[in-house]
């Protein structure tokens, strides 16, 4: 068997012979027969097309077109415990160098209110944050979560905490990890009206390879989004399935430890509103930059650079397919700025795979 490692986005991805997947499944199949342990197969196909024409803003224009596909076999020695082994394949269409296999191996404990995961698994299956913190483009280019995830889900309260090791130290790589935490509490005012409060937070630590810290000082980078929203569900006779509106407060910081004790900060706010008509959804949001005491435009690699300046965004989302078996949606966005109007086209295809025995 022969393999090579591709470096992309701070990760190594395996490009291996196709027989590795067959070996994995053969081992689990034999184990399942031998020990009569419940067997399950899980996977996802996630295709994305994201084209941004951004002539009047800080983020670079560009197109992403590709897919992530994962498939895992799980053994469940008890009702709440599972061990999953599989593989993820990443392919960016039009670029033969950006592709490869990544192994998946995870332990999962799950019951009505608790979920604990240790190991590697597809990032989109557990994490969905605002683009200010974790953009869809960054998550697509870094599809595998590698770490620890814990979540509790009650009737009104949902929270989770996780840590993802995104890079281990080597001669040409700095050690990195991302810690995340989010919480949402929903007040049910009556059967149709709901008020939600919550936040999302990440802390990105980037270590140094240089013991004198001259070339690459240790960096502490973080971002926070606080959210208050109001939601009204439509009646059975109404064409509007849901109306929503809210306010977000946003904050970023960066500190290079050995260079300075000061934190470089950026803060802003976003107002948004929208209506869900079932087949399609329309919405508008506007971001206001409130504070910037950063002497340099530092790189927040997981976030969306549009939030370095004021902008508004009008979205029209169309659900071509919205079923448990598959989802296909397309979003057309217009982004007015002081210099002109940018536009974005975003489409995703999601197909979950679940087989239990």
Q: Where are the domains of the chain?
A: 4-356
Least confident of 4-8, 288-292, 328-332, 340-344: 4-8
Taking residues 206-217, report their average pLDDT. Answer: 66
Q: What is the dihedral of CA 323, 50, 87, 73, to 10 degrees?
A: -10
Q: What is the pLDDT of residues 19-58, one digit of tens each?
A: 555 555 555 555 554 455 678 889 999 999 999 888 877 7
Domain 4-356 annotated CATH 2.60.40: no
State percent of the chain over pLDDT 70.
82
* pLDDT for position 13: 42
Please give the DSSP secondary-structure letter assigned to residue 173.
Answer: B
- Which of 144-148, 166-170, 218-222 has the lowest average pLDDT? 166-170
The first and second tokens of residue 144, run together, are 């595998």
Closest CA to 150 of 125, 115, 177, 124: 115
pLDDT-derived band of residue 254, with 50, 70 and 90 as boundaries? confident
Q: Which of 227, 219, 142, 217 is nearest to 183 (CA)?
A: 227
C-alpha distances out from residue 15 to 6, 47, 167, 215, Å: 8, 20, 18, 32
What is residue 15's predicted lDDT score, i.e. its pLDDT?
45
* Residue in 209, 244, 231 with CA at minimum distance from that of residue 317: 244
Residue 72 CA: distances (Å) to CA of 84, 122, 201, 284, 350:
6, 10, 30, 39, 16
- Give yes or no for residue 178 having a pLDDT over 90: yes
Overall pTM > 0.85: no
First-to-last alpha carbon distance for the chain, in angstroms, is 32
């Amino acid at each position: 068997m022969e393999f090579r490692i591709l470096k992309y986005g701070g990760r190594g991805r395996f490009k291996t012979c196709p027989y590795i997947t067959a070996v994995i499944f053969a081992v689990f199949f034999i184990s399942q027969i031998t020990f009569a342990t419940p067997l399950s197969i899980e996977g996802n196909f996630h295709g994305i097309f994201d084209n941004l024409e951004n002539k009047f803003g800080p983020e670079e224009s560009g197109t992403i077109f590709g897919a992530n596909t994962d498939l895992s076999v799980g053994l469940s020695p008890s009702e709440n415990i599972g061990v999953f082994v599989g593989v993820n394949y990443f392919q960016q269409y039009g670029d033969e160098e950006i592709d490869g296999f990544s192994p998946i191996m995870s332990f999962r404990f799950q019951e009505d209110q608790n979920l604990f995961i240790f190991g590697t698994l597809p990032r989109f299956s557990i994490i969905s944050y605002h683009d200010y913190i974790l953009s869809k483009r960054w998550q697509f280019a870094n599809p595998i979560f590698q770490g620890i995830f814990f979540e509790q889900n009650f009737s009104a309260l949902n929270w989770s905490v996780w840590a993802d090791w995104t890079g281990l130290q080597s001669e040409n790589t700095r050690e990195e990890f991302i810690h995340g935490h989010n919480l949402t509490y929903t007040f049910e005012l009556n059967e149709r009206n709901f008020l939600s409060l919550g936040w999302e937070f990440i802390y990105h630590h980037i270590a140094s390879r240089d013991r004198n810290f001259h070339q690459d000082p240790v960096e502490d980078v973080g971002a926070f989004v606080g959210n208050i929203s109001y939601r009204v569900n439509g009646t059975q006779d109404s064409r509007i399935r849901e109306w929503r509106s809210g306010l977000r407060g946003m904050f970023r910081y960066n500190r290079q430890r050995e260079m300075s004790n000061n934190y470089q900060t950026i803060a802003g706010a976003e107002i948004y509103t929208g209506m869900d008509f079932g087949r399609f959804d329309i919405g508008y949001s506007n971001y206001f930059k409130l504070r910037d005491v950063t002497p340099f435009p530092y790189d927040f690699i997981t976030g969306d650079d549009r939030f370095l300046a004021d902008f508004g965004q009008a979205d029209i989302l169309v659900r071509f397919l919205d079923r448990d078996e598959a989802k296909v949606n397309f979003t057309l966005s217009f982004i007015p700025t002081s210099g002109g109007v940018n536009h974005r086209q975003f489409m995703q295809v999601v197909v979950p795979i679940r087989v239990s025995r």
